[in-house]
């Protein structure tokens, strides 16, 4: 019988492709196995209900809805804010614009108004203001601002988050946060301020009408996200989730993993950030590499000059050394629950040995 558990699964690879690749820990699996279950379409699953209550309270919202994916969570959020012919302002490279199959437009007839990012990931306040359409029959109705934090591993400055969401509010727009990595943002912000990540998460989310947060990224749950907002907003999102095929039944096993993650994996995100810094430090000074100083758990490394021609060979070399990454000329290393200092050092050694050869 295959009784593979996290502890027994050999980790022959250092997998930096994404923080989505984590395996549930033994303790998380135990929590999942022990979860009381019901039929969540009847709102009967105690573990789902407990998670929804917990995340809503944690982030300062009236209600929350458990979602199978972050993509569906953002989709339901945008569609619960916007009607057909409405418009949302969003970053050109934001997940809710570029990486979700155009779902808001395809499924909701909601028009995106993408804006270019500033180097720090923000959308310039002047650009946001200029993109808001007057009430005129020529234009879609600008209804919503969506921000993403962290964005590309960058923490949006909190003063910016406050200013952008205040501008949106003043202009009568709703505000949605794609907080797939909200707790990474909160962890970085807490380190800056000497506070705790739960308090910073709540400070960030207090600027928004709705927030989507992923449990399946750095928090280490196998599946799941939550959408948070007012009771009335969540009731609308609930209807849309059903329409999108996201009404799950005995989902409590997954919700229990998410609850476990909220209880046990938030404070350890600082370790991922420290490992990202260690990785960046280790890669610094190699000719042909430009290493971006990481703010959270994502390290970007650009291949420049002659090194660009070696991209494919580098990928192959890393793979042979058991180091998995993404990106061709802009390499991306993501740290998470299932890579440790030894994995980071292996990655550094693998890159160094390639360029030394
Ligand atoms: C991962 C991610 C999501 C959601 O992705 P799913 O794979 O659908 O869970 C949303 N936004 C951002 C910024 C993400 O990184």
Give CATH 3.40.640.10 domain extents, the chain: 26-264
Q: What is the pTM of this model?
A: 0.95
Contact between 88 and 81 under an 8 Å Cβ cutoff? The reply is yes
Residue corresponding to tokens 């040995």: 353
CA 144–ligand 1 middle distance (angstroms): 19
CA 234–ligand 1 middle distance (angstroms): 19
Instruction: Decide which of 3.40.1190.20, 3.30.930.10, 3.40.50.2300, 3.90.1150.10 is the CATH code for 268-356.
Output: 3.90.1150.10
Nearest to 282 by CA among 299, 307, 269, 268: 299
CA 69–ligand 1 middle distance (angstroms): 7
Ligand 1 pocket residue status of 69, Cβ below 6 Å: yes
Ligand 1 pocket residue status of 64, Cβ below 6 Å: no
Ligand 1 atom with minimal separation from the 150 CA: 13
pLDDT under 50: residue ranges of the chain: 1-11
Backbone angles phi, psi at 303, to 5 degrees: -85, 125
Give CATH 3.90.1150.10 domain extents, the chain: 268-356
Element (H, E) at 80: helix 70-81
* pLDDT 10s digits, 101-148: 999 999 999 999 999 999 999 999 999 999 999 999 999 999 999 999
State the pLDDT at residue 8: 42
How do 289-291 and 298-303 pair as beta strands?
antiparallel
Backbone angles phi, psi at 324, to 5 degrees: -105, 135
* Structure token digits, residue 117: 């990012």
Ligand 1 pocket residue status of 214, Cβ below 6 Å: yes
Contact between 276 and 296 under an 8 Å Cβ cutoff? The reply is yes
State the pLDDT at residue 13: 83
CA 306–ligand 1 middle distance (angstroms): 34
CA 217–ligand 1 middle distance (angstroms): 8
Ligand 1 atom with minimal separation from the 225 CA: 9
Ligand 1 pocket residue status of 178, Cβ below 6 Å: yes
Please give the Cα distance from 33 to 279 (Å, whole number): 36
CATH 3.40.1380.20 fits 26-264, yes or no: no
State the pLDDT at residue 12: 62
Ligand 1 pocket residue status of 180, Cβ below 6 Å: yes
Ligand 1 pocket residue status of 87, Cβ below 6 Å: no
Ligand 1 pocket residue status of 338, Cβ below 6 Å: no
> Residue-wise over 41-79: b if at least 16 C-beta within 10 A, else e?
eeeebebbbbbbebbbebbebebbbbbbbbbbbbbbbbb
* pLDDT 10s digits, 161-206: 999 999 999 999 999 999 999 999 999 999 999 999 999 999 999 9
Terminal C-alpha separation, the chain: 45
Nearest to 314 by CA among 337, 288, 293: 288
């Amino acid at each position: 019988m295959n009784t593979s558990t996290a502890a027994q699964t050999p980790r022959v690879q250092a997998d930096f492709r994404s923080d989505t690749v984590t395996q549930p820990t033994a303790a998380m699996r135990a929590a999942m196995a022990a979860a009381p279950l019901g039929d969540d379409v009847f709102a009967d699953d105690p573990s789902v209900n407990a998670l929804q209550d917990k995340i809503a309270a944690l982030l300062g919202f009236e209600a929350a809805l458990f979602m199978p994916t972050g993509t569906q969570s953002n989709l339901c959020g945008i569609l619960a804010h916007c009607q057909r012919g409405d418009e949302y302002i969003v970053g050109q490279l934001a997940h809710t614009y570029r990486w979700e199959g155009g779902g808001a437009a395809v499924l909701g007839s909601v028009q995106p108004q993408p804006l270019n990012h500033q180097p720090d990931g923000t959308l310039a306040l002047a650009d946001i203001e200029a993109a808001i359409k007057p009430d005129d029959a020529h234009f879609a109705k600008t209804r919503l601002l969506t921000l993403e934090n962290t964005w590309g591993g960058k923490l949006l400055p909190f003063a910016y988050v406050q200013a952008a969401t205040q501008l949106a509010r003043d202009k009568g727009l709703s505000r949605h946060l794609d907080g797939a990595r909200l707790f990474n943002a909160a962890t970085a912000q807490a380190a800056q301020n000497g506070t705790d990540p739960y308090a910073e998460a709540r400070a960030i989310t207090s600027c928004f009408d709705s927030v989507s947060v992923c449990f399946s990224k750095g928090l280490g749950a196998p599946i799941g996200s939550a959408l948070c907002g007012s009771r009335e907003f969540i009731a609308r999102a609930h209807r849309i989730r059903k329409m999108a095929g996201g009404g799950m039944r005995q989902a409590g096993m997954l919700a229990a993993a998410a609850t476990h993650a909220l209880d046990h994996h938030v404070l350890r995100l600082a370790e991922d950030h420290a490992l990202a810094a260690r990785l960046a430090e280790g890669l610094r000074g190699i000719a042909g590499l430009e290493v971006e100083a990481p703010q959270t758990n994502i390290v970007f490394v650009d291949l420049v000059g002659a090194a660009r021609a070696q991209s494919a060979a580098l990928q192959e070399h890393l793979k042979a050394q058991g180091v998995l990454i993404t990106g061709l000329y802009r390499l991306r290393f993501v740290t998470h629950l299932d890579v440790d200092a030894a994995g980071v050092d292996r990655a550094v050694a693998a890159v160094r040995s390639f360029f030394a050869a």
